[in-house]
Structure 1
């Protein structure tokens, strides 16, 4: 057993060595040992390739503005491990992490001795979150972000009021499949019997898979662009404004403070989710809370301006679709300025397509190493780039500092790539501010 927070965190992180082990049997075993906390929670389950965290944030912010107690389980964290389990938007305390680790540790030891084998890091954290929201700090509703895929993800032991599938992109293909249909099949695995599902999926072949899965489970599907729609009105200085319409209501003007057309899609999914809670599950959320909650929603590392003069943006664009959204936003907002990019990524991504897009918008591009087991080496990344002004650094701190010192005040400095990298940069900047 553990006596300090640091010991607990070290034990949790030590389980990374077990890698990814898709499947629900270990989670189901732990849930039974914990007296099925997953059955005690009112929840929304959010899957998809990109936009899960942002959609969750919009829903959370709206509900919290109304005074509803919301638990959330997200990954990865940006500044502090405790962020992964939050109540009221506030990460749980160190002593609560210590208690949860001590509650789960004996189960992990016992489970390791069975034919099912040891639980992974993510399984341990998921069990901690479910146990916390059910038994330690009961919440009015819990929002669970899928870790990887959906069908075999450890969060898929919950029984949600509503499932959300944000979109489908070509990511984690070595695990989920190398085409939209296969990936959609894994994402659609979060659809439960009779549980409604909201989706922002665009590709016809992926949408067909989701519709088929929902029909099999007798679950009603609400599609962005059909049963609920939005119209982009304008880009504000810090975000976006849009109108919204669904089967229940119509709104002429809503505003968010996270920039990007993709963020409007995420916000529309969130509005529809809240409407569902209003209409079918006895939650009462006012129009004022809807508007105020959307506008004040904040999710770190998503086109986040962390410095002015020059403007410095952190964006966790960690796959092809994320890079596309980032580049579109840079071209829309800063087409008249030179853009300097610092990029780090995991080696198992479609790096050639990601770098090709970044090359097009960058005045200069710098590739860096960072300390993570699957991180790509900057010397390999720089070979992929066709840019005339490119560089590689083994020390990302040196690269960021050099660019901060030399980028003209009118230019834009963008640090992007893996969310694990963005997390390191964010913490470093906070320490040195």
Structure 2
């Protein structure tokens, strides 16, 4: 029996050895044993390759501004494990997490003795989340991120108020498929009969899959640049400025402190979602709530300026599309800077393309590694790069300390790659 918070975390993390086991049978088994807490959760369900966390953050902040209590389920974490299950942006307490682990542990052991097998780490955390928001601390609404995919994702046992698919890109291809159509099919698996879906997917072949799935499910699809739009986009010193028009209202000159054109799309998704909840579910959301929610939303580890002297930015760009968005944002806001990159990544990513894209705009690029089961070594990464000013280091802490002591006003230090790595860097720099 788990007795302490540390024991709870150890028990959860030990299940990483089970890897990823797609399918919903184990989740359905645990929910049945718990009395189906997921059926009491009013949810907005978010899938997509990138932008899930930012879209969730925008929507959560809008709903909070409107006076609602909002639960969220996200992954991975940046500062502490508990933040994966949060209320109004505040992670649940250690005592609450311990209680949840004590509730789920005996079920996990019992499930492991059946033909279904042991639940994975993500299934355990998802079960804890549903039990918490369905039985322990019921919220006005819960915004839930998928882990990966959608169709067989552990979270996909809910029947939400609304579904959101942010975008489609090449990530987790060994599980989701090699083509955009295949990946889109998995993401579109969150679309439920009669439940509308909002999407910013752009590629015609991926969008067609989502349209077909929505039509089969008789689910209304709201598509960016067809049914709602972001316009008047203009970079500003503190972030981005833009306007959003939905079928229900117009919101001119919104401002966000999250940097990048991709964040404008994420914000537009959240505004469209809020407008839908207001129009069809009688949520009392005013324009002022949307405006202040977009402005106040902040998502850790996403183009986050950690230091001004030296100028140091961290960004969890962990796949090809994320790297491309990062590069575009740097070029928009810091075109005059000499960019020095520190990069660490997992081995199951398209490393060649990611590294080449980064190298094309870097004054220098340094590769490193970190303590994680699937982390690439610094040498592995360096060998994939042809930049004339490349290096590798096993001691990234020393590299960061040195850069903080030796810099010019023209330097921008950009630390990017795996979100798991960014979490470690952020802790180190903040301390």
The answer to whether the superposition gives a TM-score over 0.5 is yes
Tell me the TM-score normalized by structure 2.
Answer: 0.99
Structure 1 equivalent of residue 276 of structure 2 = 276
Distance 2:238 2:310 in 1: 16
Post-superposition Cα deviations, 1:179-223, rounded to whole Å, max 9, x if no partner, equal 100000000000001100000000000001001111111111000
Structure 2 equivalent of residue 139 of structure 1 = 139
Distance 1:409 1:309 in 2: 8
SS in structure 2 opposite 1:361?
coil
Aligned pairs for 1:348-367 within 5 A: 348-367=348-367
Structure 2 equivalent of residue 13 of structure 1 = 13
Distance 1:282 1:250 in 2: 18
Distance 2:178 2:232 in 1: 32
More off after superposition, 12-21 vs 403-412:
403-412
CA-CA distance at 1:403 after TM superposition: 2.6
Aligned pairs for 1:324-403 within 5 A: 324-403=324-403
CA-CA distance at 1:236 after TM superposition: 1.4
Post-superposition Cα deviations, 1:115-158, rounded to whole Å, max 9, x if no partner, equal 00000000000000111011101100000001010000000011
Distance 2:158 2:379 in 1: 43
Structure 1 equivalent of residue 190 of structure 2 = 190
Cα pair 1:368 1:399 within 8 Å, conserved: no
Structure 1 equivalent of residue 430 of structure 2 = 430
Q: 1:119 and 2:119 equivalent? A: yes
Distance 2:428 2:206 in 1: 39
Structure 1 equivalent of residue 321 of structure 2 = 321
Structure 1 equivalent of residue 34 of structure 2 = 34
Structure 1 equivalent of residue 260 of structure 2 = 260
Structure 1 equivalent of residue 286 of structure 2 = 286
Aligned pairs for 1:173-252 within 5 A: 173-252=173-252
Cα pair 1:232 1:264 within 8 Å, conserved: no
CA-CA distance at 1:323 after TM superposition: 0.3
CA-CA distance at 1:407 after TM superposition: 2.8
CA-CA distance at 1:362 after TM superposition: 0.6
CA-CA distance at 1:317 after TM superposition: 0.2
Distance 1:328 1:128 in 2: 38
Aligned pairs for 1:286-305 within 5 A: 286-305=286-305
Cα pair 1:194 1:218 within 8 Å, conserved: yes
Distance 1:320 1:233 in 2: 24
Structure 2 portions without partners, runs of 5+ = none
Distance 2:420 2:396 in 1: 13
CA-CA distance at 1:293 after TM superposition: 0.7
Structure 1 equivalent of residue 404 of structure 2 = 404
Distance 1:317 1:145 in 2: 17
CA-CA distance at 1:398 after TM superposition: 1.9
Cα pair 1:313 1:414 within 8 Å, conserved: yes
CA-CA distance at 1:333 after TM superposition: 1.3
Cα pair 2:309 2:404 within 8 Å, conserved: no
Cα pair 2:336 2:410 within 8 Å, conserved: no
Structure 1 portions without partners, runs of 5+ = none
Distance 1:193 1:5 in 2: 40
Distance 1:286 1:250 in 2: 12
SS in structure 2 opposite 1:119?
coil
CA-CA distance at 1:429 after TM superposition: 1.6
SS in structure 1 opposite 2:360?
helix
CA-CA distance at 1:380 after TM superposition: 1.1
Cα pair 1:165 1:187 within 8 Å, conserved: yes
In the comparison of the two structures, how many residue pairs are matched? 431
Post-superposition Cα deviations, 1:152-185, rounded to whole Å, max 9, x if no partner, equal 0000011100000000000000110111000000
Cα pair 1:407 1:413 within 8 Å, conserved: no
Cα pair 1:49 1:167 within 8 Å, conserved: yes
SS in structure 2 opposite 1:242?
strand
Structure 1 equivalent of residue 93 of structure 2 = 93
Distance 2:413 2:45 in 1: 35
Tell me the TM-score normalized by structure 1.
Answer: 0.98
Q: 1:55 and 2:55 equivalent? A: yes
